Structure 1
Amino acid sequence: MFGKSLRRPIWTGSEDDIEAKAITESNVQVGPEQGHGVVQIVDSHEENDLSRSLSQRHIQMIALAGAIDSLSALYNLHSGKYQHYSPSPDPFFVRHAELLVDPSLGFAIGWNVVYGTYLSVPSEISAAVVLIEFWTDKYAALWITLFIIVAFLVGIIVVRVYGEVEFFFATLKILLVAGITIMGLVIDLGGVPGQQRIGFRYWNNPGPFVEYLASGSWGSFLGFWAVMNNAVYSFAGVESLSVAAAETKNPRQNIPKACKRVFARVSVMYILSVLIVGMLVPSNDPSLDDESGTAAQSPFVTAAARAGISVVLSIINAVVLTSAWSAANQSLLAGTRILYGLAIKKQAPKIFLRTTKWGIPFVCVILQTLVATLAYMGLSNGALTVFYWLLDLTACGTLISWSVILFNHIRLHQALKKQGISSQELPWSNWWTPYSSRVALVACIMFLLTGGFSVFVEGNWDTATFISSYLDIPIVIIAYVGWKLFKKTKILSLDDIPIQNALKKIREKLEERISLARGWQRLNILWG
């Protein structure tokens, strides 16, 4: 079971022999050695040891559900643009940071993502326990144990099981968004007996903004900015779509399709849901001060309860519970595959290269499961307190990762221009993304530097908040500088970025073309 590949045994010699063989068998070797070995686009371990079991419907629904959680379809467009031509178990930006910027940046951001994803699993388990407290506050330790066991089983079994689980959860989330949007519209238009039509009255009185830490327009702005910063956590996790590329059938076709199609679909759902939720409940409604962490604090629930539709509370809480479970699964998949990718590049211990006969890096899964036991801290400190603590730590790492993604994309287009290669030669390109990447990079840096802005308001200093908001910044800088000094790497010149080698790989290894939808399948707007 353990230590074998489905197609060939991988532990037939010493670890040093195996690693040397992996380098010589690599599909494409590109870039200068930079003091730590040749940078490779796709390694033989990735080609032979991981199982490509995720189909088009899996990857499309994972993308759609992840974007619904994060409301970040635009981000998907930026990231998917170049992951499809070098699918690997690293998240695209880790491998591409090496290929487009500096091998040391790939090391630093790789370990940063491992740190973030490993912490995300216990934070999501803590969130799940908070949601369960809506029904019962008993047996918290039992619930934590069950979630850890289930997450381990999903992570250790064939990746197709993960795909099916996420497909089911994605379907629930999409149905929930559609259902509460329709319900909210009916309530707002006075479609519930005994309820008056609400319309847009709350947009004028009291208005959309609530004061925070100050009064007047400045307090309203701080309230808006606090919400924007808190929303960062909800954006985390869509990277799992690209991490799964190495285990996806025909990734160069399915990844771009998933990224492109999700944009319009999520934009419609996002705009409608935000529009309607702003119509249902006034911004100063006392119910919005609910800090239980359950569905009780949802304005949709507040509106439904006042309309006499009490069952909505349990339904939303149940689906949000599956969402927390889904997020834990995605973090476990991402964390284990990233650590596996680092081990391939000798940036992590070799033991993490071990895989099961189904292509699962089981040592990575075991380690992440052990880290998940941090969720037990909630038994003494309160699950919600621990959740918010871990939330702050991972939010900072998310913004750093996104900044690297955008910088990679900018470097890609700079290299294309320098080498005289048209962006149209890429399998997928958009004329506007070079400009939007710059705007988004500035926005990410602004959010990163203001993540803990509340502690700088007079009389509001909190050491724990300051550390959790900014700790990740020096960690990444130290990792980058340390690896650079240790391996003596250099920032790649634009001429040395191996774009032609990547395009050559595409031409040499064509995928089987996916057949177009026919008949009734054309009516499938979700993953067809």
Structure 2
Amino acid sequence: MGKDDSVLTKPTEASSANVSGRTSPSNDIEKQSSLEQGTSAPLQRRLQSRHLQMIAIGGTIGTGLFIGSGSALSKAGPAGALIGYSFVGTLVYSVMVALGEMATYLPVSGSFTVYASRFVDSSLGFAMGWIYWFSWAMTFALELVASGLIIQYWEQDLNIGIFIAVFWVFIIALNMLPVSFYGEVEFWFAFIKVVTVVGFIIFAICIDAGAGGRPYLGFHTWSNPGAFASYIVDGATGRFVGFWAVLIQAGFSYQGTELVGIAAGETANPRKTVPSAIRNTAFRIVLFFILTILMIGLLVPYDNESLLSDSTDATASPFVIAAQLAGVKALPGLINGVLLCVVLSAANSNVYSGSRILVGLASEGLAPKILGRTSQRGVPYVAVAFTAAFGLLGFLNESSSGAEVFDWLLNITGVAGFISWTCIGISHIAFMKALKAQGISRDSLPYKAMWQPWFSWYGVGFNVLIILTQGFTSFMPWNTSDFFIAYVSVMLFVVLFVGHKLVTRSKPVKSEEVDLVTGRTEVDELDALAEKEQEMEGPQRKTWLNRVSKFILG
């Protein structure tokens, strides 16, 4: 993982000023890092390299992997699920390398919302930013509800409203603290997720190989009941439908990977730490998703009835189902505890990412300026409070009619991740055109994405295809209600884009006029000061925490 970047987070009293009255490099760094670079609010760069690495991992490992993967297995079978997750993994990687190239060149608050507005069209940034923010705000309410349901696994008589209130207060209080606290909490939450997933993979390999006197399993589930499952219809068509359904499921599971781009605006030395996080994306995709899906498919038949459960606790997790089939009884309670950590981590990230998107929108004039207001410690407290307020919608689940409304609101958020990925790809294509038009070589970038521009076009094309076809079940047969549930987010995005275009009369930004300067020189100066500070202090001693991080992250 390299050197720790804590020099930017804990300036000592001695380094704040010297006896001659002149400020030292440490003080200069603190002053410059207190202002988020670019057209942005005063956010502070207090996230260290290990924080960013774990945020990148924790953003993807969630209920989509621990629970949603079981649904994917039941729809497409072990081979279909494996192929589906692998294919969507390539789309995610195309988005990540594109985002990495832009985020290292211009690490600003709001990240890809600012890029869409600055490189393409302010209307695109407006529509993308608001629907992405709304998805995180609504998902925050969902995670609060899920936390109550998970705790009911141990005590059925407890009312989920109690835990919605308790965890709402806990999460909003945590996000009102400096960003370094968010980074530290996410580090440990992500650490728990990583240990759980790695432990399951080792456990699955042992069980499949016949450890402990158990019979050798191998690929027995691929022959009985089979490698591919049929979904909705029978035959070859049903197997293809199952595979396509997994693409959508996998997309939902991978959403959150883009949090690296948002966190880049508050990361010390983003030119060094962000590329490292991006390069490890492929490793994370293979290890934490594809290998996990493979192991689940080897241990759990796709026709297992428990996979069809609508529960959000450990009983619906394929991890638990695999352990139960292997005769291990102690795992369900442990997995349920991990799921609680997963949900709380997701809720924490929801408020963090939603608030930072609002800061980016405010900085670009696409949201009220008050949302960009920050405390002396760089916390956008207005944006945090506004985002967290939507978590109270979780209380709608206390009544049957309210729960129906809540489900409709959640469906609006379903495709927001795909829309954001598409906009990131479009922004990157525009970014590359602007570089060429202004005579800037991509070889001079701090991080150069591979296989461009074709890789970004590949991601944009397939993401658009998934967006347009993700509601295909509403046509089999036709169901008007299901159709609107599936495509209401797309409709909302179009309304936001067209509405902003009609009101502001905005025009697409010409490549020659794209602003590639604002935010760049400030970060160059910050990096130079950081390097000078490290030279003055000398090599830092690696702690056990650094060693553990490096072992996990590579």
Of 51, 72, 85 in structure 1, the residue corresponding to residue 44 of structure 2 is: 51
CA distance in 1, matches of 2:200, 2:94: 24
Is 2:500 aligned against 1:483?
A: yes
Structure with a larger share of its residues in helix? 2
Is 2:543 aligned against 1:525?
A: no
> Who is 2:38 aligned against?
42
- Assess if the C-alpha contact under 8 Å between 1:172 and 1:319 holds in 2: yes
Identity %: 34
- Assess if the C-alpha contact under 8 Å between 2:59 and 2:256 holds in 1: yes
- Assess if the C-alpha contact under 8 Å between 1:73 and 1:267 holds in 2: no
CA distance in 2, matches of 1:237, 1:444: 15
Q: Which moved more, 1:397-406 or 1:408-417?
A: 408-417
CA distance in 1, matches of 2:409, 2:244: 20
Alignment of 1:443-522 (within 5 A): 443-458=462-477, 461-463=479-481, 465-499=482-516, 507=524, 509-511=526-528, 512-513=530-531
> Who is 2:58 aligned against?
65
CA distance in 1, matches of 2:322, 2:293: 14
Is 2:363 aligned against 1:344?
A: yes
> Who is 1:141 aligned against?
161
TM-score (norm 2): 0.81
Q: Which moved more, 1:154-163 or 1:473-482?
A: 473-482
Q: Which moved more, 1:310-319 or 1:428-437?
A: 428-437
- Assess if the C-alpha contact under 8 Å between 1:67 and 1:262 holds in 2: no
- Assess if the C-alpha contact under 8 Å between 2:114 and 2:364 holds in 1: no
CA gap of 1:499–1:53, structure 2 versus 1, over 3 A, is closer
Structure 1 residue 73, shift from structure 2 partner: 5.0
Is 2:417 aligned against 1:424?
A: no
Structure 1 residue 506, shift from structure 2 partner: 5.3
CA distance in 1, matches of 2:410, 2:503: 32
Runs of 5+ consecutive residues of structure 1 not aligned to the other structure: 1-6, 8-26, 28-39
Structure 1 residue 488, shift from structure 2 partner: 2.2
- Assess if the C-alpha contact under 8 Å between 2:106 and 2:519 holds in 1: yes
Of 298, 301, 325 in structure 2, the residue corresponding to residue 282 of structure 1 is: 301
- Assess if the C-alpha contact under 8 Å between 1:64 and 1:266 holds in 2: no
- Assess if the C-alpha contact under 8 Å between 2:140 and 2:350 holds in 1: yes
CA distance in 1, matches of 2:94, 2:289: 12
CA distance in 1, matches of 2:224, 2:401: 37
- Assess if the C-alpha contact under 8 Å between 2:38 and 2:518 holds in 1: no
CA gap of 1:295–1:242, structure 2 versus 1, over 3 A, is same
Structure 1 residue 287, shift from structure 2 partner: 2.3
Tell me the amino acid that sits aligned with residue 221 of structure 1. F
> Who is 1:323 aligned against?
342
Q: Which moved more, 1:444-453 or 1:281-290?
A: 281-290
> Who is 1:21 aligned against?
none
Structure 1 residue 182, shift from structure 2 partner: 0.7
- Assess if the C-alpha contact under 8 Å between 2:98 and 2:449 holds in 1: no
CA gap of 1:501–1:88, structure 2 versus 1, over 3 A, is closer
Tell me the amino acid that sits aligned with residue 186 of structure 1. C
CA distance in 2, matches of 1:383, 1:188: 45
CA deviation string 1:466-488 (max 9, x = no partner) = 22321122222222222223222
Runs of 5+ consecutive residues of structure 2 not aligned to the other structure: 1-10, 12-31, 65-88
CA distance in 2, matches of 1:427, 1:177: 32
CA gap of 1:368–1:64, structure 2 versus 1, over 3 A, is same
CA distance in 2, matches of 1:264, 1:517: 27
CA distance in 1, matches of 2:382, 2:499: 26
RMSD after superposition: 2.8
Structure 1 residue 298, shift from structure 2 partner: 2.5
Tell me the amino acid that sits aligned with residue 416 of structure 1. L
Q: Which moved more, 1:238-247 or 1:326-335?
A: 238-247
Alignment of 1:109-508 (within 5 A): 109-137=128-156, 138-193=158-213, 195-381=214-400, 389-458=408-477, 461-463=479-481, 465-499=482-516, 507=524
Structure 1 residue 504, shift from structure 2 partner: 5.2
- Assess if the C-alpha contact under 8 Å between 2:434 and 2:511 holds in 1: yes
TM-score (norm 1): 0.85
